[in-house]
Amino acid sequence: LLIEGAIGNSERELIDYLLRIYSNQLVLMGKGEFDALTGLLNRQAFDDRMKKVMSGEILVGRDGQADGLSFAIIDIDYFKQVNDKFGHLFGDEVLLLMARLMTRSFRQCDMLFRYGGEEFAVLMTHKLDKSLIGLERFRAAVESFEFPQIGHKTVSIGVVEINSQELLSTIIDKADKALYYAKNNGRNRICVNDQGKTDFRA
């Protein structure tokens, strides 16, 4: 603790100046990790966090304890139609509301990302079966939600259980293949890529 009178005015001004710089840096660092529209973690943060989770550099789950890890990619079905019919302003509103539904559906220890465009991603701190419960809760919440002016929308989801021995690029590719399987087989569903085999699980 600083004792009153132990430092002069010039030192105090310098400390205030340095504290302001430090505060500004924290704000800028925070802004660099979050998507400006949705408030979710952005793609840059995704690359950084996932690498650190895979290497064990950062722990996830409650108190750093996770019974497994699952990764899902979420895509809004027929999103281009929203932009084409209603305009990008309404499209942005759909993205924002979708992010809010994600925040309500998943747990605080799950990492939520705006992956790019109309795609989102979730890193869940559970094995596949438990993770599917949260994903289905979110899928159902989206299906029943009425977006202003737009009406109802749905999402397709591809999910994979993370094997720490695999490369991050392999995990993403597996989730991506499950997502496209969901989109090519009716949409509004969750598909799992389990050891190279893709099927429906919800």
Positions annotated as catalytic residues are 118
Q: Residue 179: CB partners within 8 Å, gap ≥ 6?
A: 73, 74, 75, 156, 157, 158, 191
Residue 181 Cα to chain centre, angstroms:
21
Question: Among residues 156, 123, 125, 124, which one has the least CA distance to residue 46?
Answer: 123
Q: Rg of the chain's alpha carbons, rounded to an integer? A: 21
Question: Among residues 124, 76, 66, which one has the least CA distance to residue 101?
Answer: 76
Look-up of token digits 């939600």: 145
* Bridge partners of residue 156, in order along the sequence: 75
Would you give the DSSP letter of residue 162? Answer: P
Cα–Cα distance measured from residue 155 to residue 188, given in angstroms and rounded to the nearest whole number: 5
